[in-house]
């Protein structure tokens, strides 16, 4: 009632952003209209441009507006290694760790029959092609260690079993700097199970 229709609509539309409730949406809308017309203008344009142009890398399915994403385009990456992750944010996380120089395959989700997400939606047929064509020697499965992530990992491992490549899963255990006292039981169980000989 207090806001005119266009402002009310903007507030409502801002709520699609993750972590933004009615109160912050109102704050954002008023801030943009009162104080940052320029920023809002840029936001409207770049959002429209990204929506209209960004699709998926034809190789690794990561988000990009080009045919192939920036990582797939690079010739200095190890093409024998492929890391399978759930989301583009996971690519960012692994890249910023700086220890992986292979390529990625981005599922954009995990198996979730309840939401109608099966192997096809995750492009797993494409993963199989990718792996077969490019002389890949190892596939590292780095899906989340949630129930769905584990299920997806198992499915992929089964799917690729017939191809003659190594399939690995990232290690689970106590995080660096983690105090045992505060680590949950499941993680501790995995850490014990995956123990390594000290040499």
Report if residue 189 touches a copy of itself, rule: CB under 8 A: no
Backbone φ/ψ region at 98: left (φ over 0), alpha (ψ -120 to 50), beta: left
Report if residue 22 touches a copy of itself, rule: CB under 8 A: no
Report if residue 64 touches a copy of itself, rule: CB under 8 A: yes
- Return the beta strands (E) in 7-90 as ranges: 55-56, 63-64, 81-85
Report if residue 161 touches a copy of itself, rule: CB under 8 A: no
Q: Give min distance, CB of 42 to a copy of itself, in A.
A: 5
Give the CA count within 13 Å in the CB-facing half-sphere of 139. Answer: 29
Q: Give min distance, CB of 183 to a copy of itself, in A.
A: 24
Q: Give min distance, CB of 127 to a copy of itself, in A.
A: 18
Rg for the chain (alpha carbons), in Å?
21
Q: Give min distance, CB of 37 to a copy of itself, in A.
A: 7
- Is 131 strand, coil or helix? helix
**Residue among 170, 168, 149, 148 nearest 157 (CA):** 168
- Residue ranges in contact with a copy of itself by CB under 8 A: 1-7, 9-10, 12-14, 16-19, 24, 26-34, 36-37, 39-51, 53-54, 63-66, 69-71, 87-89, 91-92, 95, 108
């Amino acid at each position: 009632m207090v806001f005119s229709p266009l402002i009310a609509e903007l507030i409502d539309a801002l709520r699609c952003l993750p972590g933004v409730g009615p109160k912050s949406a109102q704050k954002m809308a008023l801030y943009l209209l009162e104080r940052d017309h320029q920023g809002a203008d840029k936001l409207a344009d770049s959002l429209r441009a990204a929506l209209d142009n960004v699709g998926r890398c034809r190789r690794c399915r990561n988000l990009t507006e080009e045919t192939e994403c920036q990582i797939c385009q690079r010739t200095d990456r190890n093409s024998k290694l492929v890391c399978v992750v759930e989301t583009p944010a996971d690519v960012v996380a692994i890249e910023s760790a700086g220890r992986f120089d292979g390529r990625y395959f981005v599922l954009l989700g995990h198996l979730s029959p309840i939401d109608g997400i099966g192997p096809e939606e995750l492009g797993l047929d494409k993963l199989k092609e990718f792996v077969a064509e490019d002389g890949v020697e190892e596939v590292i499965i780095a899906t989340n260690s949630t129930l769905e992530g584990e299920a997806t990992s198992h499915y992929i491992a089964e799917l690729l079993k017939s191809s003659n490549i190594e399939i690995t899963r990232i290690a689970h255990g106590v995080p660096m700097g983690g105090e045992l006292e505060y680590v949950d039981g499941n993680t501790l169980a995995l850490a014990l199970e995956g123990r390594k000989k000290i040499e």
